[in-house]
Amino acid sequence: MTAKQLEIFEKAILENITTSNAGIVVTELMKENGVNLSLRTVQRKLAKARKDGHIDFEPPACPPSKTPAFTVASKTSDLQEATLQSEKRVVTVKDVLSKGAVDTNEWCVKDFVLNSWEVGAKGPDGRIRVTPLWQVKVWFKRRDSWSITEFRDIIYKDMRKLAPSYRLPKLPKKREPVLAELSIFDAHFGKLAWAPESGQDYDLDICRTRYLGAARDLLARAARENPDRVLYVVGNDFFHTDHKGTTTSGTPMDVDGRWQKSFRVGKDCAITVAEEAAQFADVDILVVPGNHDREKAFLLGEVLEARFHKCKRINVLNKPDLYSYYRYGNVLLGFVHGDNHTSDRKRRNLPHIMTTDNRADWSNVKWAEWHLGHFHSEQEDVWHYRRVTHIQDMAIRILPSLSSTDAWHREQGYQSVLAAECHLYHKENGRIGYLVHQADPISHA
């Protein structure tokens, strides 16, 4: 630093500089005096100026400051924001509570933020004095207000209270040890497709018509087998979107109407199918989340559980895990949507996942299968899995969909037969067959 630059710098320290921020000082010196100094040089000079007393960080010896400003802004009836500004150091929420009249019996702290900055001014002796200021913002929540979780719990309890009592026909005393697995995968309630663009029409009304038509056809044919249980699998992209027109991961979708409407229509269809299945067998509803409706599928499961909790013939199996299992005698069935198992290499891990998750059941069954959705087409792979002294064939089945092709899938060249299936398993002898319902893409039946 030259003598001239030093003179300008020291004059600026005494007369103009109102901050100890070296970066701001460099900018001010360049702008006001045309002096270009390095940041490191200015930091050293500021440190020396403070040491020599040219810059004083203590509050100036002038009339006492005003009472700290304390303001309260009302956001809602259940949320308040309080702000405290003071020249004295305020570092805790307790300091805010001591300065302001906050009734802690009515309000509790939801969140807080601490800010600080400096203001410089000339003191009576002509020297620059830098005064630190402090600000604490605190958000208070009314203690008796509802959180989203609390609200959900209250609604859930109310729904259970309003659940109807069912009077169902008596089941035959002699029923076959047969499980009918009703699997209507990838229904996509709320999906929208326009035939001139995608080759097929699809909307909420078409979805409801196809879904109920397939369920009733398959249940009527399954009832001829006189099964003692029906496994009704709900999910696997039961809904087309999760929130505000997007999938769970945020991908925008073409939707038919409001999500509230599609949820109600889908929920009513699920209730109807379960009630009709309970006319001739005990029913287990298994909820399997998809990549389109992971959160909404779980919510549907909670709604169904609340609806049927008084019905001893209908049981709801709902959990947030992506992998679900169901055992029926010598048969162990695994369910996962399939969006994370899109290749043969990834699907080869499914036998290992099943044996790891179900060590006790695995050692006591003779047949095991995985049922996947997502691909909207029927496929079947058989993997040989060695166990102790023999080889067991584990089938990995990809089940079809009733959903028409939308614009994006049409562009990608995807096409599939519109169908739904019901798989039949004997408790002792394993798989004994399956039923297929094929939908008409023209009449939508």
Domain ranges for the chain: 3-54, 69-142, 148-170+177-438
Map tokens 């089941």 to a residue: 171
Q: Where is average pLDDT lowest: 75-89, 124-138, 317-331?
A: 75-89
Residues 141-159, mean pLDDT to the nearest whole number: 61
Percent of the residues in the chain that have a pLDDT greater than 90, as a whole number? 29
Determine if residue 251 is left, alpha or beta; phi over 0 gives left, psi from -120 to 50 gives alpha, anything else beta.
Answer: beta
Q: Does the pLDDT value for residue 15 go beyond 90?
A: no
**pLDDT at res. 369:** 92
pLDDT tier, 58 (very low <50, low <70, confident <90, very high otherwise)? very low
Task: Return the pLDDT at 431.
Answer: 93
Q: Which of 190, 284, 276, 277 is nearest to 234 (CA)?
A: 284
> What would the mean pLDDT of 362-381 be, rounded to a whole number?
77
User: What local confidence, expressed as pLDDT, does residue 221 receive?
Assistant: 97
Which of the listed ranges 131-135, 152-156, 176-180 does the model predict with the highest average pLDDT? 176-180
- pLDDT of res. 374: 73
Separation of first and last alpha carbons in the chain: 88
- What is the distance between the alpha carbons of residues 290 and 337, in angstroms, rounded to a whole number? 5
Is the pLDDT reported for residue 117 higher than 80? Answer: no
Computed over every residue of the chain, the mean pLDDT equals 77
Contact of 181 with 431, CB cutoff 8 Å: no
- pLDDT at position 386: 43
Specify the pLDDT at position 285.
97
Tell me: pLDDT of 66 over 80. Answer: no
Instruction: Please return the burial class of 368, using the count of CB atoms within 10 Å of its CB with bins 0-12, 13-18 and 19+.
Output: buried
pLDDT at position 388, please?
39
Q: How far apart are CA 297 and CA 238, in angstroms?
A: 7
Q: Is the pLDDT of residue 355 over 70?
A: yes
CATH architecture for the domain at 148-170+177-438:
4-Layer Sandwich (3.60)
Residue 370, pLDDT above cutoff 80: yes
Q: Percent of the chain having pLDDT more than 70?
A: 68
Rounded Cα gap, residues 17 and 24, in angstroms: 9
Q: What is the pTM of this model?
A: 0.63
Task: Find the mean pLDDT for residues 413-437.
Answer: 90
Most confident region among 94-103, 150-159, 287-296, 307-316 by mean pLDDT: 307-316
Sequence-ordered strand ranges (E) for 127-226: 128-142, 176-183
**Greater model confidence, 84 or 304:** 304
State the pLDDT at residue 165.
82
Reduced to 3 states (helix: H, G, I; strand: E, B; else coil), residue 45 is helix
Round to whole Å and give the CA distance between 337 and 370. Answer: 10
Residue 405 to residues 27, 189, 255, 299, 401: CA-CA distances in angstroms?
Answer: 61, 13, 13, 26, 10
Inter-CA distances, 30 with 38, 75, 113, Å: 11, 44, 35
pLDDT of residue 123 exceeding 80, the answer is no
Q: What is the rounded distance in angstroms from the CA atom of residue 215 to the CA atom of residue 234?
A: 12
Would you place residue 195 in the very low, low, confident or very high pLDDT band (cuts 50, 70, 90)? confident
Q: Is the pLDDT of residue 17 over 60?
A: no
Band the pLDDT of 387: cuts 50, 70, 90. very low
Say if CB 218 and CB 280 are below 8 A apart. no
* pLDDT of 119 strictly over 50: yes
Q: Rounded mean pLDDT of 102-123?
A: 73
pLDDT at 16 over 60: no
Over range 330-344, report the average pLDDT: 83
What is the per-residue pLDDT across 257-298, written as a single tens digit (0 to 9) for each?
788 888 899 999 999 999 999 999 999 999 999 888 888 899
Confidence of residue 344 (pLDDT cuts 50, 70, 90): confident
